[in-house]
């Protein structure tokens, strides 16, 4: 468990540093599919040079099931306020694979979940942040088991050959506090990206994402934005995709 905690701690650090995320969805015709958010921090590891090899940490290739994790910690979770318990419950469908090898300078994270309907899954990036926040410590007496407060939420729908992704600011005050906390880090984050990679069961007819690119078969949409732009305005990734009948 210590290795998993160290890996998730590294994820927390990544959230405050340069980061390139990919949000990927595989949709089937019946509306079921798979949602994941992955991060490849190998370039950052390489930039850190040989300092990381001095930690003597052994390579990690682990998968954590949050369903199992929450079952293991159910007594501690039961001591939390009901609202916090419900937030943690949203992580239950997710698994996280973590690959870390300081010597080879490899660092990869993949948080993923299968779904029966895409509208049932949580905002992938928020889930990644929550998974990171609870994984490092799990003592509710110290307030470490609580998921992070998220000022925004992302909603997905897929009905009648039309897919939508829409972000909403739930807490304007908290959102502004998040923006204020970025002061001094904008230059560092300016080169970071957030990419959507959506795979559909049919060829794409049209999309509101004018800058998106498509696979050769026309069934995959790829849309990349600057991560800092996304933090400042979550709606930059709002889109609709209409599929051919």
Please state the domain count of the chain: 1
Tell me the mean pLDDT in the region 160-167.
95
What are the tens digits of pLDDT across the range 59-79?
888 888 989 988 988 898 888
Place 16 in a pLDDT band, splitting at 50, 70 and 90: very low
Range of the domain at 69: 2-243
30 or 8, greater pLDDT: 30
DSSP label of 122:
P
Place 4 in a pLDDT band, splitting at 50, 70 and 90: very low
Give the count of beta carbons closer than 10 Å to the beta carbon of residue 11: 24
Average pLDDT value over all residues in the chain: 81
Tell me the mean pLDDT in the region 83-93.
84
Place 13 in a pLDDT band, splitting at 50, 70 and 90: very low
What count of Cα atoms within 13 Å lies in the side-chain half-sphere of residue 194?
A: 22
Place 80 in a pLDDT band, splitting at 50, 70 and 90: confident
Tell me the mean pLDDT in the region 88-103.
84
* pLDDT for 157 beyond 60: yes
Distance CA 64, CA 38 (A): 14
Cβ atoms of 221 and 207 within 8 Å: the answer is yes
């Amino acid at each position: 468990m210590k290795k998993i905690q160290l890996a998730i701690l590294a994820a927390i650090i990544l959230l405050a540093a340069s980061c390139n995320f990919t949000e990927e969805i595989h949709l089937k015709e019946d509306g079921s599919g798979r949602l994941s958010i992955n991060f490849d921090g190998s370039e950052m590891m390489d930039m850190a040079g040989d300092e990381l090899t001095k930690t003597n940490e052994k390579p990690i290739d682990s998968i954590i099931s949050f369903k199992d994790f929450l079952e293991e910690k159910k007594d501690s979770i039961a001591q939390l306020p009901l609202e916090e318990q419900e937030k943690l419950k949203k992580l239950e469908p997710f698994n996280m694979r973590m690959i870390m090898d300081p010597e080879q300078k490899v660092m990869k994270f993949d948080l993923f979940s299968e779904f029966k309907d895409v509208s049932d899954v949580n905002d992938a990036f928020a889930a990644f942040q929550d998974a990171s926040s609870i994984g490092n410590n799990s003592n509710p007496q110290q307030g470490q088991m609580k998921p992070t407060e998220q000022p925004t939420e992302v909603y997905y729908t897929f009905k009648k050959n039309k897919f939508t992704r829409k972000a909403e600011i739930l807490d304007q005050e908290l959102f502004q506090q998040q923006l204020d906390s970025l002061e001094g880090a904008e230059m560092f984050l300016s080169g970071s990206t957030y990419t959507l990679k959506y795979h559909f069961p049919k060829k794409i007819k049209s999309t509101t994402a004018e800058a998106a690119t498509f696979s050769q078969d026309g069934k995959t949409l790829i849309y990349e934005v600057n991560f800092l732009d996304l933090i400042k305005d979550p709606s930059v990734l709002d889109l609709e995709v209409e599929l051919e009948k």
